[in-house]
Structure 1
Amino acid sequence: MEDEFTQLQAILAGLPMHAVPSSSSRSCGPEAWMQCGGKRRPGPCQEANEKSPSAAHRVEAMLAAVAADYPAHEEVLRRLSVEAASLDLVCFADHAAAQLFVAVRGTHRNMNLLTTPDDLRSNMHIILGCGPARAEPALSEYRALRRRFPHYDAFGCGHSLGGAVILHVAKAVEKEAEFAFRRVDVFNTATSPLPVATPAPLAATELHVHRVTGDWASWGLRFYDPGSGKVHTRNAKTSIPDPHSLRHFLPDKDAEADSEASTATSSTDRQALMDTMDAQAPVAPAAVRPMSWEAAFMNFASCVGMHRKRLLPLPQRQTASESELERQKQSSVDATLNIDQVGTETRSSQGPA
């Protein structure tokens, strides 16, 4: 039962990424700053915005997809309703069980004007041992949401940067009975590599910190005192090359359910779901090798929103033999043209017979 709830929390931790509009979306003009909350002002992109799904609708579509992907959790997932969705967090409510699930978004790996600046700043704050910049707005949103459901049990979750943010939110409200979380699960949460800069432990909230051996982002958890919580370290799945991936904590997908879900959700952004939740077909098992510092740096660069630019193919160089062959062909063509020209001039000089 404990593992099932951890898996449910891992599934929910991957969904807030879909609240972010695509950077290539037509709705990402100046009006997009208000897409996830507040009243939009009429503008030239209003029609495009109205045709684009809202943050809550995008998350709802992905929630329906993962409900079909994971039959063991389908009953609970289909009971959940998206009560609020923003660029920072998503709130799910199970009204039948009087439970509130708050999932915080991790680093958005694509360059996006709406998310990249705050994600970069938050990750740099964590590296330096400070609280993530996104913690304050997330705390304000959570307080407003919690007031709507004062008698519900609250659960929090987050992956990577999202885990660091939810930890700070939980710590800030731990002594306030009306806002305190009942349980928090974080997965490969981002931590500072400095031993003296680990997050403050939770004293009363049930905390479960999950990490994979070899994960570079949560390396600092080796010095972390979880307080009343527990740190769960597991080996990386051999079929998943990236130890930081959320897939290490997700349940195995049912093949038949996955096939049916692909058909039923063909109108949704299925590829985006697979990219964010890392719910892709397993690759051939490979031995887990220690990560070099170069690979660790590139992984960190990807986490904070930087991608390597796609390089254009270099022009092909001709070998010496190919160049000589081209010259011979050109010489033959020139010789033929000269012969034709001489013949034409000779006939012209002789005149009519």
Structure 2
Amino acid sequence: MISFAPLSVPLERRLQTLAAVHWIFSFLALGVVCTVIFIGLFFTRFWLLGILYSVWWYLDRDTPRKGGRQIQAVRRWCVWKYLANYFPISLIKTAELDPTQNYIAGFHPHGVLAVGAFTNFCTESTGFSSIFPGIRSHLMMLTLWFRVPFFRDYIMSGGLVTSEKECASYLLSKKEGGNLLVVIVGGSQEALDARPGSYTLLLRNRKGFIKLAMLHGAALVPIFSFGENELFDQVDNPQGSWLRWTQDKLQKIMGISLPLFHGRGIFQYNFGLLPYRQKINTVVGKPIKVEKNTNPSQEEVDRLHQHYMTELCNLFEAHKTKYNVPLDQQLEFR
């Protein structure tokens, strides 16, 4: 039986739902729309705009891998506040971050659409700048998306940058410090395990961010986002199933995963692409000091990686009961 939303829903909640619709559209369809508009310009009387943007695009081609182009006015849009309140989303600090230092933060888990990572670190809707004064957050995203006209400028305005090593090195080598580079370590592949009650992280063999931290002497910051996996249901795709095999193959070919997910709708609560209204509490752990090592051995990388995993587990254990995670639940690493 379909459960419809009541007509008496307050305006505030309707605006929150509209913000969630905007975000889902931006994430799933805006790139395609921007591409169609760009191509279409050349077949209209506005073809000159297409030419001018192409020139700009060429001249600006290196910006996504050189820190991007944040626009504070965009990060402070009121739509992001409505989006954060839709769930709601909270950013919790457990230790101070020194604005004279650079940091690499590992964000876990990815979730289906990484809404916690985007909302906390690409907008000011949860108060990032006031919680961590003097720190500039940058969230890494697949390089593919920065090849989409217009869309690339939109995502850069919030603080998204490419996932290339060159980009990480550019930010982490800034002598003045104050850069927090957020890496969703499990990547899009981890999204295939994102479902309510799941605490499986793709981390055991993900060590590139560890080596980057050592190369630049950047402190490591573990982040766990409680509730991230509760936002959508996903079609069962256990390891070894034909669906999971197909998804893994497509992920290797395309670089993006294709989880078969569903949530709620705009006017009913049973099916649709909107996320469920579930609280997200993103907890930022204490920094792990890392000594600069321009030529780390595999043993040194492995040792720091194990230390990072231990600190992430400690962060999870210290906060899980506050956020309704069963006491006997532990993180599972793949």
Fold shared per TM-score above 0.5: no
By relative contact order (CA 8 Å, sep 6+), the higher-ranking structure is 2
Structure index of larger Rg:
1
After TM superposition, the score normalised by the length of structure 2 is 0.31
After TM superposition, the score normalised by the length of structure 1 is 0.30
